[in-house]
Chains A and B, each alone.
Chain A
Amino acid sequence: MWLITGGAFQGKLNFALEKTGFSKEDIVDGEKCDIESIYQGKIINNFHTLIKRLIKDGKDPKEVTETVIKNNPDAIIIINEVGNGIVPIDALERQAREATGRCGTILAQNSKKVYRVLCGIGTCIKG
């Protein structure tokens, strides 16, 4: 497993495609995919949005994260850094932000490589 993180609009997905040689058909979009597809897809994009969706549906994002690690250990996961700001007033936004940090940490612990992308430039921060 690889984890690719960074802020919004930094070119994380392009970086993932270039680095792995995978094509656009290999991307599963966490914003709208069905849950089952994240256990098979090669690149899981927008994992932070998936977490928000899970919380909205009353599901446990930590459980889903652990299942991804178990069932899809070679996946490339892309997750936004969303924690470097002020605590949001909205309860859902607050929970999602916290869960993104926690789940991202679990993913990073289980990843061989972790990249942080800034301005399109990936820096390897683990592995």
Chain B
Amino acid sequence: MLGVVIGGSGSGKSEFAESLIINENKGNNLFYLATMQPFDEEAFKKIERHRKMRAKKNFDTIECQTHLEKVNMPKASSALLECMSNLVANEMFSPEGAGKDCVDAIKEGLKHLLSQTENLVVVTNNVFEDGIAYEKESVKYIKNIGLINQWLCQRADRVVEVVFGIPIDIK
């Protein structure tokens, strides 16, 4: 099962995504693929909050801030990737990232994850509806997330939008 969970900031999408992957997992290895770089105090606190939330849920955490293709999981694992907007930012802007080839690199990385998993859930953000005329690089960042979301959701078995903690099935 490939699932995509999308929502705004603080919508409860992570918690929903965790319960989705746990319900789908039938006793296989369960991984949490963490993409956030703990570059400051605020990010660190956010990571801590998410760690506490998952503490009793038996996830093994794999750090993958760039290069999904390097992730190694046993066949037929279940994995939760959180989240796409961080991953795209890391691939585009950090020195070890794929830079301008970010969209293709992430698609290849996702194919690699799909080959190792029976269940994969990807968390992504709705950053597309504020209508602000950002400068070029930010527009490209938003566009790249949009393109990857579309690619992923075309393949997904289930796509869920979370609004204030309420899951709405859109596929």
Question: Measuring CB to CB, which residues of chain A are less than 8 angstroms from any residue of chain B?
Answer: 6-11, 48, 80-86, 88, 93, 97, 100, 118-121, 123
Contact = CB atoms under 8 A, between A and B. Distances in A.
Contact of A119 (B129, B131, B153): B153
B152 interface: yes
B143 interface: yes
Interface of B: 4, 6, 124, 126-133, 142-143, 145-147, 149-150, 152-154, 159, 161, 170-171
B131 A48 contact: yes
Contacts, number: 76
A100 B131 CA distance: 10
B2 to A, nearest CB: 13
A85 B143 contact: no
A7 B142 CA distance: 10
B128 A9 contact: yes
A118 B146 contact: no
B133 A93 contact: yes
A81 B146 CA distance: 14
Given A9-B142, A119-B170, 8 more contacts: A6-B129, A7-B127, A7-B129, A8-B128, A10-B128, A81-B131, A85-B132, A120-B150
A118 B170 contact: yes
Contacts of B4: 119
B136 to A, nearest CB: 14
